[in-house]
Amino acid sequence: LMKWIYIVLFMLICKITNGDTYHTVNKDSSVVIAFLVRNKAHTLPYFLTLLERLDYPKDRISLWVRSDHNEDRTLEILKIWLSSVEGQYHSINAELLSSPPVRLSEEKGPAHWPSSRFTHVIQLREEALAGARQMWADYIWFLDCDVFLTNPQILKLLTSKGHTVVAPMLKSDGMYSNFWCGMTEEYYYLRTEDYKPTLQRERVGCFHVPMVHSSVLVDLRRASSDGLTFVSSKVPDYKGPHDDIITFALAANKSGVPLYICNDNIYGFVMVPLEQNDSLQLDFMQLTNLKLEVLVENPRLPVSELLAQFVTYPERDTMGFDNIYMINLLRRPERRKRMLHCFKELGIHATILNAVDGLLLNESSLREWDIHMLPEYTDPYHKRPLTMGEIGCFLSHYNVWRQVVERGYNRVMVLEDDIRFEPFFRQKVSHVMAEMQQLELDWDLVYLGRKRLHESDEPWVPGSRYLVRAGYSYWTLGYLLSQSGARKLLAARPLENLVPVDEYLPILFDKHPQDTWKGYYPQRDLVALSASPLLLYPTHYTGEKGYVSDTEDSTVMKSARPSSTKEDL
């Protein structure tokens, strides 16, 4: 009898049928992705393209979509996209309400959030949460449509964390993100000392925080998730404001559910939200800001062929300048490609000037240019002569100056190819130019980006809000140059006493600390100003991952002429 019992048990365990053994195969967790959409025609092509490209089985994903009160092409985009993915996802629950009305009765603008708008959003989010619970989904993922999930593994990574509520840290074009590290006694945002190191990934991992939003994954399999809600009346002793994300955070706290933000991977990006009096046009400009930020370290945001028809770019021009130059080495095609993408986003028509490559220079080519290093020159930090890369950099700028004079340009913009544009770059340059015209300023050169070395020696231009008198500075990331400035830079005959270009400019506007170097340039009357705050920064700093220097990482000039004594004028 025992023998037969063992045989039956063995067959039950192994489930042997026709000689085959059936192994347990775990399915991927079922996920409801819930998103509310309003006036997001400009972000939807990117949001939906990235959503569709998630590396996760679509038959394990249910979409829950609501949209109403739109005054753009949001509904048109949603309908086309939802029709294209019909049958790919496990289910699609979408309610798209046509407009008018384009606003709720109390709203004064598209970014205004009266109590009625919070009530409406709270009801919709709670409906999504209840629907996911009712269909026994494993997870619900609340997404805003102005987040861009550039990591296709994001859903698999988040579900592997083992937290009831978890959010991926999303970057913006500034200090904004989708988490708080602190909360006031009134339950509003509080900046703490942990925020910046978390945002900048100086500490990496998953961290318990009081607030997450915009991209929040909830594990509905856990009993503790039952207390999560967006409705304040369901939260015991609720004393917070009428606000969906704050209610959810306090409900989690009351239920003993910690909220986690994870920055262990680069997950994606989030737009800076509008203030209540802002327009949709500002949101469009902020999208440009964010797309430029994405391009610093990543490919441009993708858009599917289906949705590309809804993406628009500004008409290209030279921003009121006679020309805009971008200096780029032919052997740096990745930088050229990135800058061309940036120009497309900014609506800039630029002339690409092929840089003089220091790797191709030698003593013979220096003689052809009749180049001589300034006799007393040694690099202040590395105590070495000029490198061929530094010479190539100087000659690249020198070629721009010559073109400005030869073609009679009144004013140009000069850009290098390793720059990060400040948000609202075009608008800020326009403010600078308008102010110079209004103040009738005499100027030769205006730094847009640089390394400030003597900030205490930089007084504000009288009557100006955006300009200072430039002090000793490094870097030539970008600058404005006038015809008179180009003539002065050439007239000083810099190739006869060559120094790096970012040492040469301060010599010519008489702010260089090395008096012996200045002695070789008696005419030092370049009028140099600087935008303040700066409008350009490097994409990478020395020592950072991805930093490459074509000036530092090259051979040095073999020799200089014998020193000659000159009086410092």
Contact 477, 466 (CB under 8 A): no
In sign, the C-alpha dihedral spanning 525, 527, 532, 534 is negative
d(C-alpha 446, C-alpha 304), whole Å: 41
Tokens of 70: 């739109």
Residue matched to tokens 């980006």: 449
For 174, residues 6+ apart whose C-beta sits below 8 A from its C-beta are 272, 423
Annotate 489-514 with b (16+ C-beta within 10 A) or e (fewer). Answer: beebebbebbbbbbbbbbbbbebbeb
d(C-alpha 464, C-alpha 468), whole Å: 8
d(C-alpha 123, C-alpha 539), whole Å: 43
Radius of gyration of the chain from Cα atoms? 30
Torsions phi, psi of 212, nearest 5? -135, 150
> What residues does 36 pair with on adjacent strands?
66, 144
Contact 91, 62 (CB under 8 A): yes
- Residue 11: what pLDDT? 53
- Residue 355: what pLDDT? 97
Residues written for the chain: 569
- The whole-number mean pLDDT for each consecutive block of 10 residues of the chain, a chain of 569 residues, reads 53 47 72 98 98 98 97 97 97 94 90 96 98 98 98 98 98 96 95 96 97 98 97 96 97 97 98 95 97 96 98 97 98 96 98 96 92 93 91 97 98 97 98 97 97 88 97 97 98 97 97 95 97 96 63 58 36
- Residue 105: what pLDDT? 85
Give the three-state DSSP class for 326.
Answer: strand
- Measure CA of the first residue to CA of the last residue in the chain; give whole Å: 114
d(C-alpha 426, C-alpha 15), whole Å: 69
Secondary structure of 113-162 in HEC code, one letter for each residue: CCHHHHHHHHHHHHHHHHHHHHCCCCEEEEEECCEECCCCCHHHHHHCCC
Enumerate domains of the chain plus CATH numbers.
Answer: 31-270 (3.90.550.10), 313-538 (3.90.550)
C-alpha distances (whole Å) from 12 to each of 1, 5, 17, 22, 160 are 17, 11, 10, 11, 32
pTM beyond 0.85: yes
d(C-alpha 499, C-alpha 505), whole Å: 10
| CA angle at 538 for the pair 533 and 541, rounded to the nearest 5° | 120
Q: Is 546 exposed, middle or buried (0-12, 13-18, 19+ CB in 10 A)?
A: exposed
Contact 87, 309 (CB under 8 A): no
Residue 255 CB: number of other CB atoms within 10 A?
Answer: 18
